Each structure stands twice: as C-alpha cells, then as structure tokens.
Structure 1
C-alpha cells in the first residue's frame, strides 16, 4: 500500500516524515487479492510499508503540543531570555569604573564600556524588533475584527508597550558616555556615583517587574513544568546575585573615592580635580594611566606618591577607614584591571550574601544599612522560592513511587496471605514494575479522560486511535461515526515479556491493536509462526463472529497462540463492545463492500473457500473421463467464495 492510499484512507491526519519509524516490524502476507466494486487489486503487503509511530496514548501523532501552544511557549521563552539578558547586561555598566593604583584617580575603562554598550544596543534592537512585529500582528487582528463588524475597543496593550519602550531607552549609554565624563571633568565624582545608581534603579526595577509578570504568565502554559520552574528560579537567583554584586562594587568604589576625597581636603597640595584622571576614558594604549596634566603635573605626581593616603584608603593591611561591608574585596577590586575578576568576585559575594542571611560587617551609614536590608530581604524571598520549587519537584518525583510502593506492599501482603506459588508472585511483581515503567509512572492513562464530557472524550480518542484502528481492512471502509464509537470503547493494556495472551483453541475474547512491543503468533497444528509489531492486530475472528447471521452466542476459537516477546502496550476491544457496534450500526456493516472485505480476511471464510476449491477439483477429477469432450472452466478463488455465499 502506498502513502497516497494511506492519505485517502485517513484524510484527516497530517502525515509528516517524523511520524514514521522504519524500525517497526510488520508481518506481511504476500499474494493476497481483494476485490472492491468488481476490480481486482493485488497487494504485496497486508499493511503499509511504514507504520505510523504512535503517541504515548495510542494514536498517531497525538502526543505533541498544538502549534498555537508551541508558538505561545516559544514567544514567552524568547521574551524571558531577552529580559534575562537585559537584567544581566545592565549591571555590567558599573564595572567600567576603576581607580588607578599609580595616580589614585578615578577613570572609565573605555574598551569595557564600549563592549557593554554594544551588548545593550543589540538587546534593545531585538526588543524593538519584537515590538514592531507585535504591533503588526495587533494591527492585522484589529482590522480583521473591524471587518467582521465587531466594536473596536481601546487597545489594552498600550501600557505594556509604553513600559517596553521605556525599558529600551538608552539611559545607561547616555549616562556612561555623556553625563559621567562631564561630571568627572568637574571633579564631582561622588555625585556621579549616586546619579548613576539612581538611573540604573529607575530602569532596572521596572525590568524586574516586567520579568516577574512574564514569569507568572508562563505558569499558565501547559508546557510549563517543574523543571522549568527550577531553572527559572535558579536563573533569578544568579541574576539577583549579579545585580547585588554590581551594586556592592559601585558602592564600594564610592566609599574608596569618599576616603580619597577626605584625605584630599586635608592635604593642602591636593585639589578635587586630582581625584579624576586626566582622561576620563582609558583605552589601555599605555601600560599605566598617565598622571601628567597641562598645569599640575608635579602636583598630581605628588598626590599619587602620597604613602599615607595610599595606606589609609588603598592598602588592605594597614587600613584605618571605616569601609564596613565593602572592606573585604572592594579595595582589591577597584584597582584591578582584569574585567573577569571584577565581575566574578562580586557575583560570588552576592551569592554568598543572599544565601547567608547576615554575618555582615556594616557601619552606620544610612545608604549601606538600606542596601543590606534590601539584600537580606531579597535573599530570604529568593531562597524560599527556590526551596519551594525544589520541594515541589522532589514531591512530584517521589509521590508516584511512594504510591506504587504502597500498592505493592498491599499486593505482597495479599499474595502471602493466599499462599501463592513463588513463580506467580514473581510474575505479579514483574508485571507491576514493568507496567509502571512502560506507563511512565501513570497507573492508567485513560483515567485522565474519565472526567471529560463524553463527546470531547470520544473526539480525543478518535484523534489518538483512528489511524491505528484503520489498519484493520474491515475498518477502513467505516464512516467517522462508527469509528468514533469503536475508539471510545478501546482499553489500554500492558503485557510483560514472556506472557501468553491467548492459547490456540480457546475462545477469542478481544481484538488487540499493538501500540508498542512485539508478539509471536504460533500455530502449533501446522507448525507455523510469525511476528506482530506496532500497527498489527489480532483477534479478527471476532469480526466474522459478529457479522454472522444467524448470530451464534458462542465465541470463536483462536487460531493462534500469542506470546509477548517484550513488554508490549496494546489497545483492546472486547467482544461485547464489538458486538454492540456491529448491531447498532447494521446499515454500515450491511454494505456489500464491507461484507466482501470481511469474507476475504476472515480465517473461517478462507477455510471454507479452500474446502470448496478442493471439492470442486475432486469432482472435476472424478468426472473428467466421462466429460473430457465438454468445456470446463476452473473456478477462481473469489468465485468459490461467492458460490458459498
């Protein structure tokens, strides 16, 4: 059967290349012929060359997320990554400040500032592109709404758009490249630190609010899992550590500048302009920052060589200035020219501070006290959220195992009470654990659909199982109504390896449609065996039994012995359910096309056809000497079947 014929059989299913799996084994029956409407068509295989890979429930292609949900999840994830990138890049502007160890003056690292500015501009450009695409989508949606005559209300997204526009304003870039050099040239170095921190918080706090709102919106998506929650909480924890460390570095360098300023006021040879290097931006064209100036070269050199000021403000061994919580690494970092160390050490300090809930040495400065209060409060909140999400994750992972252990304990107690043989006890244990592993920790997947309305449940089962059920030749010609009733009565079954499902000669109680695994089909009477894989079925004797008139209430015997070769998942259709469908939809099964298909694939009809052919041949051979001159045409197999009818 070609793929084109597959599409004609099931036009409602969209076949993709990913829906096929060449590794599945399909039993074939060569040389079969089937007649529909007078035409004879030979099929080399009873089943398609490629079997549709099945979803975790049963049907083909039903296990994935819808395209709309995927778009929503991808859009939210992309926006979350953009917000995280913005929250990471903005604190990097603080690390552009540095203090020259030779001149004891403040300068801005030019190359580092340029790199951070480029990163920030790229993120803002992506945000702006996203806003532009969103405006196009909204405009198209509003035009479609107006075309249908619906009232167009005021757009509710304007506030969010204005907020996003505010978040991408180049305030840090303007502050770093325009305002800070002007302040440094005037010697207002303390004011520039405070202004830079205020501008940073003005744009950073709304970014945090926007990210939190987006995070809560992601909770409503069905694709949001516990793993996503842990990853997002961990990412928020590290971003908070990064932001706290950057603020700690800026406030620390401000304290160092304050110390230098106090010593400068007590030194008669020092002027406030000496606290700023000759060039506000240093691009590392020379080995050290130049201390020379146009009019005060000697005075700057004397200030840079002042050992008392250096020991008081920049020496960690003999330091008399009250740095408070900024003392530990701030003095080493402000004169460090390695950008990587300047970034990593504050992140480590922020992570350590958010996790320790205190143990910090601080002074009575109001700004430092407020800063430490915010750090401790944020640390408690973040740690609580992280522990809560982790606890939910481990509870979801262990609750199913605990439930299975409890059930197994009850079963073990019952088996010991009934004194079952050890072999049966071991088989029960293997079945329970293999079923739990095959179902992914779920006791029964179909139990989730029991609380859904019947119509919706039937549509879901039809979507999941119709492609598998149509592998049965008789069911290919049924309409959607009959197929919906058949799919609604399917039951999920799990068989462990080595289990005998049906013995040859015993009554057939259900049809099996294999989803995963393989079965060995043995016929001991003639010594034949074959293998059934995903997409195959067994128990088709029930079809002839249900369509037989007059109806006989005795189940037909099985022609094969079915043994599982591995853990097998299948769908079962009980005999009484199949009988219900054939009786309540007689008009469908009374069609000549369905009857011919049922007779052609029925083992009973095939046996009777073989007997009829043998009897006709024997009659021909017995009467051949007396009717040698008479014309005789050998009947075909299909004519023999029709003669029986």
Structure 2
C-alpha cells in the first residue's frame, strides 16, 4: 500500500495524517490510542491508552474521566502498604502458652482484630491490581489501518523499528513486575500460618510457614519503596525532600526490622517450648506426643515436663532443656496470656536491642535454626547500618551545604539590597519610587548580578521604567544644543529609543578613526576622551550629566547613508564603571525618516544654535516627553 493510500485510509478512519510516519518502508503509528470520549484540558491523555470493550468499560471510563484520582489513590495505597507491614508481625503474637495445661492456645481477640485488618489491607492490593490492569496507561499498541501487531509486521515487511520494540518490552516488564509484586504481597500466608499452626504436629511445617511469612516482607517492603520513588521521583539535582525521604525510609526499615525480629523471636520461643514438651514426651512412657493444641488432645501426665522445660526443675538430676536465646522469653512470662502492649514492647525492645548490637549479646544453643536466626539478625543489622549511616551522612552534608548556600544567598541579597539603595541614592531617585523598585529587585534581580541601570530597568514595569529613564536622561538631553529646537513628539521618539548600557574599566568604547555609531548620555561614572593628534586638544573627562557623539545628530539631519557616518576624532574609554544611555545610529536614522521636516529644521537651526550657544543659550521646555 502506498503512502497516499495510507493517508486516504486514515482520513476515512478519522485518524490524523500526522499519525502515519513514513520513511521508505518504515511505518510507525503514534497516536492511534487516544480515548474515544472528549478529554478536558485539565486531563492528560496517556500515550498507549485504548478503552476496552466489555464490563470494565464503564468503571474504566469513570476512573479515566477523573485522572486526578490516581495520584490520590497511590498515596492512599502507600499508606495502606505501610500500615500492612506493621500489622503482619502481630500474627506471630496470636499463639500463647498455657503453662498449667502444657498446651498452646490462641489469643482469639487479637486473632480476630489482626485477621480483619490484614484482610482490609489486602483489598487495597486487589484494587491496585485492577487499576494497573484496566486503568493505568498501557503498553502502546502498534497498529496500521486498525490491524493487529502481526498484520503490521506483514504490512511493513517486518521493519518495525527496534526502538519501538524495546520501549514496548520495557513497559511490559515494568507493568508486569509491579502486578507480580502485588500478587505476591497479597497472598494470605500469615493467615495460613495461624490456621495450620494448630493442626500440624510437625515443627518443620510450622517453621516453613513462618519462614514464608517472613519472606513475604520482601515484596511488601519493595512495593513501598517503588511507590515512594514514583511519588517522589529523584530529579537530576537532588532536592531536600528526596534526601529526607531516603533517610526516613532507612529509618523506617530499621524500626520495621526490629518489630519483625521481636515478633519472630516470640513465635520461635513458642516453637522451642513445644519442642521441649515433645522431647519430654519421647523420654517418658506415659506421654503421647500431640500437637499440644489446647482444644485437642493433650498429654496425659502434665507434671513431668516441668523437670526438663522449667527454669527451676523439681528434679535436680534431670538435664534442663537448652532454650538458648529464647530463655528470656520463657523466664519473663511473655509467652503466657498477658496484655498485648506488655508483650509487644518487650519483644520490640529485644529486637531493637539485638539489631543495634548486631546480635553480639545473643547466647544461642546448638539448635541449627536458632543459630541461623541469630546470623540473620547480625547480617540484617550490619546491612541496615551500612545503609543508614551513609544516608545520614549524606543528609547531614547536603543539609549543611544547602544551609550554607542559603546563608550565602541571604548575604548576597542583603549586599545587593544595599547596592540598590546606594544606586537609588546616587541617582537621586524620589523616595516614593523606592518601595516599588525594591520590591521588584527582591523578586527578580539575581544575587550574582552587578547592580546598574541596565539590570534595574530590565526588571521594572513599563511605567516605573519610563519614570527612571526620564529622571536620568531628561536633564542631559536639555544640554544638547541641536535637541533644543525639537518638538515634543520627536523628543519622545528619541527618548523611547535610548538603550541602557554599562561599561567596565579600560575597555575602549569608541576608537579614533572609526565610524561613530552611537551617542552616549552618561548617568554614572567617568569617561576619558583623548586623541593621538597633539594639535586636536588635550584629554578630557566626561562625568555624570555629560554626553558624547552629538555629531550623529548632524549626520541624521542631512539624511546621509551609513557609508557617510561621521568619523570619531577621539578615543573614548571608561575611567570607572560607567552607566549610560545610548542612541544608536540605526535608530536615529529611522527617527529621522519618520520626522523629516523636524530634522530639516534641526539642521537649519542647529547650526545657528552651535554658533550662538555660549552667548544666547536657549532652554528646552520640561514637558517635551
């Protein structure tokens, strides 16, 4: 099919011709995925979005019409994820030990509350999966003439651009990985641990389920991190918010790890208590090992475990059971029925203390899983320290650097403020204008810029700019003899074409023997004029209120071409920093062409003025501009 055919077909299908891009046989469709309903200006149409058919269409269109819902949803989902990972360790506190009956029971009130909260948090994950599948921007579909991707390849002879395929693959992987993380996070593993815990006599089964519950923290914490980075995308230059977020996230991981390790320590302590009872049953003929579930069968003789599993055994000849790092849990009584705050804070303190000390104070038994747990605590603490300390150092350094930079900026602004006030005072600006000028200076003048008339006039509004310009230039224009015969309209045109300029020291502004291209009206500083021709005069200084280059007015009054520009007979060089207003030859020629009669009169009368200026001065009216 030819390119013209594609354009004709696109017009029939109501597709913009710009959506079909042709480069020999390479065809890309870029805008075929816009939504079919009207989109308001406040809405952003995501590339690659196409409404679906079927039952999700109504819900999808509702969500799409209010795209502002998605950022709010992500913040709510982030809050639910954080709340969820803080709730999950509470599952490990549900089992309790009944010392009198030598059995394991459940804290039913805690069980009901935690299961309800966890199920509620899981609903957020389910809704987020639905949003990612049906509402969020999708992988762009590559279609030509409404055909499928396979037909597109056939139509373009297999020349789909590589960057399109890579972009599509990258987007598929990103969306699929996020959905997979949500699916792994929503699996009801903690609920299964509690339900199977009481009905399994195998300690290995319980340990495996507990390990899965602990492992589920990886996708759940990863989801929090991905949400935070998406809501606070790191810019090219790190901001204070992003730096503080990194430190807050590291601290959150530290507190969460202490919470999880404390709860897991409690759960494993119950496991060791149960293992002690089973070991006692194997050594006693009057006992049958069971699940030790309080509502099920229990051991017949409930006194003999005290000889092995008690911290103060009645039989001193018996070898006590080595509880290792869990001896504190058995002795403190936190495994027995007690109020949740007492149990929680004791276990949380245990986790925080041992995580901070990298597990150095733990005294373990020869039980393998206990030692693995101790090693994991040590490595986790070391990892968090390596993660937390550099982040905090970076935060401190960045904050110190930024604070120093802010202080420097404040000092520069104060210095600039004083410079502006001095500039206003030196130029005799009326006090009534100072407030408006200083307000604009504070808003727009950069700290590293020098204060001079060019900068200040650039940032001022038109009315204030005209006032300053008139205040500085009008007295100087009165001193120019050939301008005294001008009427107000011509003077206003000249006045409007004056451009603020500034010059630094020791740089020639005008060179002797070169064309004179501008006339200068000095408002600040000193200009030095001199010549190499000893017969032409001595060195002169032009300070505030003086002008130079009035030969341009004679040139303009003659309507001469640029090739006849007057030649400068002197060098002009700043002795100090100079601020002035410049009237350029090009602007002056345009003004002369607009008012030829006035310049003809200026030429005729100007010669008389130049000859009689010293004896018969003529004063210019102040109302000209």
The normalised TM-score by structure 2 is 0.52
- Per the TM alignment, residue 387 of structure 1 is displaced from its structure 2 partner at its CA by 1.5
Q: Are 2:396 and 1:378 aligned?
A: no
Question: Quick one: distance in 1 between partners of 2:584 and 2:438?
Answer: 17
1:41 paired residue number? none
Aligned CA distance change for structure 1 residues 500 and 131 (closer, same or farther; 3 Å): same
Question: Quick one: distance in 1 between partners of 2:219 and 2:198?
Answer: 27
Contact preservation (8 Å) 2:234, 2:242: no
Contact preservation (8 Å) 2:355, 2:381: yes
Which residue of 234, 238, 253 corresponds with 1:220? 234
Q: Are 2:151 and 1:206 aligned?
A: no
- Per the TM alignment, residue 644 of structure 1 is displaced from its structure 2 partner at its CA by 5.6
Which residue of 389, 394, 397 corresponds with 2:396? 394
Question: Quick one: distance in 2 between partners of 1:197 and 1:311?
Answer: 29
Question: Quick one: distance in 2 between partners of 1:494 and 1:274?
Answer: 81
- Per the TM alignment, residue 94 of structure 1 is displaced from its structure 2 partner at its CA by 1.0
1:542 paired residue number? 468
Superposition pairs for residues 84-483 of structure 1, below 5 Å?
Answer: 84-138=82-136, 142=140, 153=168, 155-156=172-173, 157-177=175-195, 179-183=196-200, 188=201, 190-211=203-224, 218=232, 220-221=234-235, 224-273=241-290, 275-278=292-295, 300=300, 302-303=301-302, 306=303, 309-310=305-306, 312-315=308-311, 320-331=320-331, 332-357=333-358, 358-399=360-401, 436=407, 439=409
- Per the TM alignment, residue 396 of structure 1 is displaced from its structure 2 partner at its CA by 2.1
Q: Which segments of 5 or more consecutive residues in structure 1 lack a partner in the other structure?
A: 1-13, 15-69, 280-292, 405-434, 445-491, 519-533, 559-573, 592-640
Question: Quick one: distance in 2 between partners of 1:369 and 1:102?
Answer: 30
Which residue of 487, 492, 503 corresponds with 2:425? 503
Question: Quick one: distance in 1 between partners of 2:391 and 2:584?
Answer: 49
Aligned CA distance change for structure 1 residues 584 and 77 (closer, same or farther; 3 Å): farther
Question: Quick one: distance in 2 between partners of 1:377 and 1:134?
Answer: 35
2:439 paired residue number? 514
Aligned length: 391
Contact preservation (8 Å) 1:512, 1:537: no
- Per the TM alignment, residue 579 of structure 1 is displaced from its structure 2 partner at its CA by 6.7
- Per the TM alignment, residue 326 of structure 1 is displaced from its structure 2 partner at its CA by 1.3
SS of 2:523's partner is: coil
Q: Deviations over 1:2-52 (max 9, x none)?
A: xxxxxxxxxxxx9xxxxxxxxxxxxxxxxxxxxxxxxxxxxxxxxxxxxxx
Q: Which segments of 5 or more consecutive residues in structure 2 lack a partner in the other structure?
A: 1-41, 43-67, 150-163, 444-459, 474-491, 499-519, 525-543, 546-576, 595-620
Q: Deviations over 1:78-105 (max 9, x none)?
A: 5544433332222221111111122110
Moved more, 252-261 or 339-348: 339-348
Aligned CA distance change for structure 1 residues 578 and 499 (closer, same or farther; 3 Å): closer
Question: Quick one: distance in 2 between partners of 1:317 and 1:578?
Answer: 103
Question: Quick one: distance in 2 between partners of 1:270 and 1:168?
Answer: 41
Q: Deviations over 1:63-89 (max 9, x none)?
A: xxxxxxx99987775554443333222
Q: Deviations over 1:500-539 (max 9, x none)?
A: 5522764799993515989xxxxxxxxxxxxxxx999956
Question: Quick one: distance in 1 between partners of 2:109 and 2:279?
Answer: 30
Question: Quick one: distance in 1 between partners of 2:213 and 2:220?
Answer: 11
Question: Quick one: distance in 2 between partners of 1:261 and 1:204?
Answer: 31
Question: Quick one: distance in 2 between partners of 1:134 and 1:274?
Answer: 43
Question: Quick one: distance in 2 between partners of 1:585 and 1:110?
Answer: 95
- Per the TM alignment, residue 216 of structure 1 is displaced from its structure 2 partner at its CA by 6.1
- Per the TM alignment, residue 134 of structure 1 is displaced from its structure 2 partner at its CA by 2.6
2:37 paired residue number? none
Contact preservation (8 Å) 1:86, 1:120: yes
- Per the TM alignment, residue 127 of structure 1 is displaced from its structure 2 partner at its CA by 1.7
Contact preservation (8 Å) 1:241, 1:354: yes
1:566 paired residue number? none
Question: Quick one: distance in 2 between partners of 1:147 and 1:644?
Answer: 70
Question: Quick one: distance in 1 between partners of 2:225 and 2:427?
Answer: 66
Aligned CA distance change for structure 1 residues 144 and 72 (closer, same or farther; 3 Å): farther
Question: Quick one: distance in 2 between partners of 1:175 and 1:436?
Answer: 57
The normalised TM-score by structure 1 is 0.50
Higher RCO, Cα 8 Å, sep 6+: 1
Choose 1 or 2 for highest CA Rg. Answer: 2
Superposition pairs for residues 29-108 of structure 1, below 5 Å?
Answer: 80-108=78-106
Question: Quick one: distance in 2 between partners of 1:582 and 1:344?
Answer: 85
